[in-house]
Structure 1
Amino acid sequence: RMREYFLQNEIPTNVWLGTTIESHRVKDRIELIRDLKANVKWLSCEPLISDLGELDLSGIDWVIVGGESGFNARAMQESWVLNIKKQCEKQKVAFFFKQWGTWGGDGIKRNKKENGALLNDKLYREYPNLKKSM
């Protein structure tokens, strides 16, 4: 597994390590990267298919959130996104809202480009601060 490799080998400064957390059922994946010595550790919360509840983002630098796309896409709830955003702000983690996906924030199914990436009429495109020069 990749975790075991990175526990025993130096992680190059240009490698950003991330994991996907699409549902509250897989939040334990955060523990796979939290203690690794990577320049940037990030979470991909996409496609977000459930509320993640409370998150411990210690050791995490960046969270990307996005809805699912495609014919059989499941709708993402705005409250789920706002829950993550609020926790990122509180824990000083960069928050990046990528897209609504097939289902818009208004609950209407349409082309993901039409749904866009506005959250509360604003784009959220934060990036992590780099700890070391690369």
Structure 2
Amino acid sequence: MNWIKILKAYHQGKFDRYYYGLTPRMIIGACQNPIGTAFENEQIAYEKAYEIFQEMAEYNEDGIIVTSNYCGIHKGPVLSFTEGNLTAESIGTSFNSIWDRYGDEIISGEFGISDYDKEKLNELNELTN
């Protein structure tokens, strides 16, 4: 699964338990095949997370861009799609901020994917296959 499908589903209200966005660690873990598979090592985890972040920072399709909000529950940035014009600051966070907050969890394969998340991701996977 790719992060675009996940954020589109969130934007369409399919993850209705979440109000401000989805955590980068959950998105990255959901992009693993199978979902939630840990990375082989720290370098691969870092590179994959960086690649996804760069794609998000540059995403601009049909007036939809990626933005971040601070989530007090997770004490870090969460991500979502929003309508807007792409600028260098659109995403509202940096990769370093994401990595500082979620990097250890991403490296250890602790993606925070709940049973609720798995259910929604599996439904999404079935719809897109």
TM-score by length of structure 2 reads 0.28
Larger radius of gyration: 1
Decide which structure has greater strand share. Answer: 1
TM-score by length of structure 1 reads 0.27
